[in-house]
Amino acid sequence: MPKLKRYTFQNEAGNEGSAGGSASKPETFSREYVTELRSENATYRTRAREAEQKAIESEAAAKKFAEEAAAKAEETAAARETSANDRIIRAELKAEAIKAGMVDLDGLKLADLSKVKLNDAGEVEGADELMKALKEAKPYLFGGAANTSNTDTPPKKKDNSKPKTAKDMDAAEWKAEKKKLGLP
């Protein structure tokens, strides 16, 4: 504990007194001086109370800001997760729609996606049932199943024959060819 210093003051009568107090002789100060000290002390107490109140308000504001920031971060994370899950579901539904033979994938916009969910393993549940229901309700969206190895039409045969030259043509063929080309 620090040692207190003793100060001496002179009262109105010119007698010296000490701030530490003396048991033998009581100290007296003028009323104006005491009022001035009390006023000064009140000013300091008021400032201290105001500073303390500001500190409490700042602490409350910081706590509120931290809570709002945490709530916003949590909300943003949840929104991002939902958005990512929706993208995964849409991609899987597109694959299922192609397998089911959907002609135009814009038809998926007509589907009720509320029953399609992403499970904990990251797999889409309910996509098959959705495609079956969509196929029954809107059959015009579906053609045959997509098949890349369709061989209904035979491939065109290459024409390996060489064009005839004027040497190989007879007179009638030569006249017809000249006429076709617009020559006299």
pLDDT of residue 18: 52
CA angle 31, 37, 39 (to 5 degrees): 100
Q: Tell me the pLDDT tens digit for each residue of 2-18.
A: 565 555 556 555 555 55
Q: Tell me the pLDDT tens digit for each residue of 67-90.
A: 999 999 999 999 998 888 888 888
3-class DSSP state of 1: coil
- Tokens 């104006």 -> residue: 32
The answer to whether the beta carbons of residues 67 and 59 sit under 8 Å apart is no
Is this structure's pTM higher than 0.85? no
Query: CA–CA distance from 43 to each of 6, 38, 57, 88 (Å)?
Result: 25, 9, 21, 67
Write down how long the chain is.
184
For residue 131 the two structure tokens come to 């495609």
For residue 68 the two structure tokens come to 């709002």
Q: Is the dihedral of CA 94, 100, 106, 110 positive or negative?
A: negative
For residue 12 the two structure tokens come to 């109105």
Decide if pLDDT at 1 tops 80: no
The answer to whether the beta carbons of residues 116 and 132 sit under 8 Å apart is no
Q: Tell me the pLDDT tens digit for each residue of 96-138.
A: 888 888 888 887 887 778 888 888 887 888 888 888 888 888 8
- Residue 103, C-beta contacts closer than 8 angstroms, at least 6 positions apart: 141, 142, 143
3-class DSSP state of 102: strand
For residue 91 the two structure tokens come to 């991609």
- Residue 7, C-beta contacts closer than 8 angstroms, at least 6 positions apart: 18, 19, 20
Q: How far is the C-alpha of 170 from the C-alpha of 177, rounded, in Å?
A: 11
